[in-house]
Structure 1
Amino acid sequence: MALKPPDAEYVLREERTVHSLLFMEDTLLAGTEDGQISEWNLTTFRKEKTVLNAGTSACMALKLLNNTLVTQERKGHINLWTPQESSWIVSKFVHLDYCGFSRIDVADDQGGIVACPKKNSVVEIYSLKTHSKIISFERDKDDNVALGEVMALKVIHISQEPYLLVTYENGDLHLWDFRKRHIVDHLKFENCLTAVDFSEVTMSGICGSVSSQVMFFNIDKNSSLVRTRTKEIINPGINSIKIRSDNRIVALGCWDGRIRLFSWKSHRPLAALTEHSAEINDVCFSGGRVVQFMAAGGKDRKISLWNIYSTTSV
């Protein structure tokens, strides 16, 4: 590896397994195994007294859209949180018939939408304005292919129009068209796909799986999925993938406790960070900072904060 792996800037300690992370201005939110959401001050690096309660099971996702915090509980509750003075007001958004590992995603189309995984390979799109379902993506009843459960999803845009990337338990990656409500294209991979991310700048994406393979793909001018490259990591299993907003690096949160970094341009490996002793559940990057921090959290109840290659060309 060409660059020396950096050390963590700070290590924060939670009381439960960390499942989700979100940078929000000068704070970091952390969703834990018991459904609690902690707020960490990034000036003092101490936990604030304010603790939100997303439910009674693991807080799987934290998303911010239009000044609204959207949280996902493993047992299926999707909650909306709106700021009021120094506190948050919560309203139950929807209860999903789903209990799994796939995380919701959000986008600002139509005043705000939330993409939610469901049972039987279904993904539903809900409106933040009306709190109602507006689209359902599900395979044709005549299709005999067993996709299995939804494992990961990502709302993307092609020519400013919304599309949906979905990975399934059987190793399929599907690209759905919001307008036509059908599959535009799909790719078949060898193993269950557990994580996906995509850059609308480079029109390229990445999938992680239960195996040691990392798959890269493009979307061409015909909105077709094109598999471009496969990389091997030392140990199998990836829970989270995040491409940094500057499209320079991508971070993989892995089952073996490593945070693996790749150059997004060349796909070459940069570092394997070893601060954690158990599987990483989520990785995220801060936005709007001169120095972009990366945070990672997982089963060892630690949150590591990193200043990753902010000035070095990768």
Structure 2
Amino acid sequence: MSKRPPPDPVAVLRGHRASVMDVCFHPSKSILFSGAADGELRIWDAVQHRTISSALVHSAAHGIIGLAASPSIGDDKVISQGKDGTVKYWDIGDGGLSRNPLVSITTNCYHFCKLSLVNKITVGPWETGVSENYQDAESGEATVQGNQMESFRTLEDTEEVKGRKCIAISGEQSSVVELWDVASAEKILQLPHLSSGSLDPPTKARGMCMALQAFLSPESQGYLNVLTGYEDGSMAWWDARNPGVPLTSVKFHAEPVLSLCIDGSCSGGISGAADEKLVIFTLDCQLGSAMVKKEITLERPGIAGATIRPDGKIAAIAGWDHRVRVYNYRKGNALAILKYHHATCNAVSFSANSKLLASSSEDSTVAMWELYPPQTVT
């Protein structure tokens, strides 16, 4: 039996004049944000596939390296991160971008590492009654996923993060991670915490922090956790209550870790690197341990971005080889290889309702895909 061909994008968004470095969806509206290497931030209507507004928000010489939107920073807000060392907090309440940022933070961080908002444990509409059939990309055989996802409650913030709109960012010292309150432009904490008189952080031997993800684990009592990936291929898991040393350190990759994503249950995630491996791992919050669940060998090395669908069923990665690869997150089997882009794929992002996937590329385009959409109970 012949394999079903991979789908074409449902839309291709054109308008950028430079490499599209990052892309993310609005947490509740049909809006997509994209940021380019020339500093342009575009807001797109994800239904009509047209530009709502566009503005140069970072210097053209440095450009945008990261974007983030989440209810944790406000419903009609978006954050842009430039390679000029600034992070800007924008209001989009009137549909377009505000003329000036609400807050502009000079972080003195001039790296390629994208910032991270806090990934909270969430409950989605897919908890019950969802059944999906996926077709394996290699065998062409259909596989059936379970029809129920465990129910997770959102943790209440403690004093550590209460009232704060937190971001995690690779710090002024490149192996250090900094936590900032984006609303007050206040630096809250460093990981590792540097004692007075300390010249070099203990993470210096790991090299630069290349990828990170902030999250609230089930055992954290609302205190921030951060997973960090480094230049030497290692990863560290930090708990803000003990910022001096990580809970655990692992080394799943032989090359720099370039992408990290934690799932909605905060019990696992995926990591991609400059090597030819994609790793699906588990996080044991009680033991503070990270373990390999499945290691996937790729045909070509280099994963620039990774994302897990909000319902926890599908993962997607953006490859240096111009391809977007889609996997069954729970089992690790390949589902599809998406071929449209003509240059390195820089980022991938799922919509909050799990129906759309967006990919961005050095070819200056954003592609939108519909893949195994969740079935809703009627």
- What's the TM-score once normalised by structure 1's chain length? 0.91
Question: Conserved in 2, the CA contact under 8 Å of 1:166 and 1:174?
Answer: yes
Aligned partner of 1:71 in structure 2 is 80
Find the aligned partners of 1:302 and 1:93 in 2 and give their Cα distance: 27
For 1:87-126, list aligned pairs within 5 A: 87=96, 88=98, 89-107=100-118, 109-111=161-163, 112-118=165-171, 119-126=173-180
Find the aligned partners of 2:45 and 2:30 in 1 and give their Cα distance: 6
Find the aligned partners of 1:258 and 1:84 in 2 and give their Cα distance: 35
Pick one of 18, 21, 30 that aligns with 1:19. 21
Q: Does residue 54 of the first structure (1) align with residue 54 of the second (2)?
A: no
Q: Out of 33-42 and 144-153, give the one that drifted further.
A: 144-153
> What are the Cα deviations for residues 115-153 of structure 1, in whole angstroms up to 9, with x where unaligned?
111233011101134321111113775848611111000
> What are the Cα deviations for residues 245-288 of structure 1, in whole angstroms up to 9, with x where unaligned?
01110000000100001101100111111111110011111113
Aligned partner of 2:367 in structure 1 is 304
Query: Residues 241 and 3 of structure 1: is their aligned pair in 2 closer, same or farther, counting only changes over 3 Å?
Result: farther
Aligned partner of 2:187 in structure 1 is 133
Q: Identity, % of aligned pairs?
A: 23
- Which residue type is aligned with residue 360 of structure 2? G
| Residue segments in structure 1 that go unaligned for 5+ positions in a row | none
Larger radius of gyration: 2
Find the aligned partners of 2:213 and 2:237 in 1 and give their Cα distance: 10
Q: Give me the CA root mean square deviation.
A: 2.1
Report deviation, 1:74.
1.3
Query: Residues 144 and 302 of structure 1: is their aligned pair in 2 closer, same or farther, counting only changes over 3 Å?
Result: closer
Q: Does residue 237 of the first structure (1) align with residue 291 of the second (2)?
A: no
Find the aligned partners of 1:144 and 1:86 in 2 and give their Cα distance: 42
Query: Residues 293 and 257 of structure 1: is their aligned pair in 2 closer, same or farther, counting only changes over 3 Å?
Result: same
Question: Conserved in 2, the CA contact under 8 Å of 1:156 and 1:200?
Answer: no
Find the aligned partners of 1:94 and 1:284 in 2 and give their Cα distance: 25
Pick one of 274, 277, 280 that aligns with 1:216. 280
Q: Out of 208-217 and 136-145, give the one that drifted further.
A: 136-145
- Which residue type is aligned with residue 66 of structure 1? G
Q: In the comparison of the two structures, how many residue pairs are matched?
A: 309
Query: Residues 243 and 86 of structure 1: is their aligned pair in 2 closer, same or farther, counting only changes over 3 Å?
Result: closer
Aligned partner of 2:263 in structure 1 is 199
Find the aligned partners of 2:87 and 2:41 in 1 and give their Cα distance: 14
Find the aligned partners of 2:278 and 2:55 in 1 and give their Cα distance: 35
Find the aligned partners of 2:229 and 2:311 in 1 and give their Cα distance: 25
- Which residue type is aligned with residue 230 of structure 2? Y
Report deviation, 1:227.
2.2
Find the aligned partners of 1:144 and 1:10 in 2 and give their Cα distance: 43
Query: Residues 306 and 84 of structure 1: is their aligned pair in 2 closer, same or farther, counting only changes over 3 Å?
Result: closer
Query: Residues 86 and 23 of structure 1: is their aligned pair in 2 closer, same or farther, counting only changes over 3 Å?
Result: closer
Aligned partner of 1:152 in structure 2 is 211
Find the aligned partners of 1:177 and 1:2 in 2 and give their Cα distance: 45
Q: Out of 189-198 and 266-275, give the one that drifted further.
A: 189-198
Query: Residues 128 and 275 of structure 1: is their aligned pair in 2 closer, same or farther, counting only changes over 3 Å?
Result: same
Q: Out of 73-82 and 103-112, give the one that drifted further.
A: 103-112
Q: Does residue 80 of the first structure (1) align with residue 89 of the second (2)?
A: yes
> What are the Cα deviations for residues 153-210 of structure 1, in whole angstroms up to 9, with x where unaligned?
0012222532000000011100001111131001013221111111142611111010
Question: Conserved in 2, the CA contact under 8 Å of 1:2 and 1:270?
Answer: no
- Which residue type is aligned with residue 34 of structure 1? D
Q: Which has the larger share of strand?
A: 1
Q: Out of 199-208 and 80-89, give the one that drifted further.
A: 80-89
| Residue segments in structure 2 that go unaligned for 5+ positions in a row | 121-160, 195-199
Query: Residues 11 and 83 of structure 1: is their aligned pair in 2 closer, same or farther, counting only changes over 3 Å?
Result: closer
Question: Conserved in 2, the CA contact under 8 Å of 1:21 and 1:296?
Answer: yes
Aligned partner of 1:183 in structure 2 is 246
> What are the Cα deviations for residues 218-249 of structure 1, in whole angstroms up to 9, with x where unaligned?
11231111223211111110100000001110
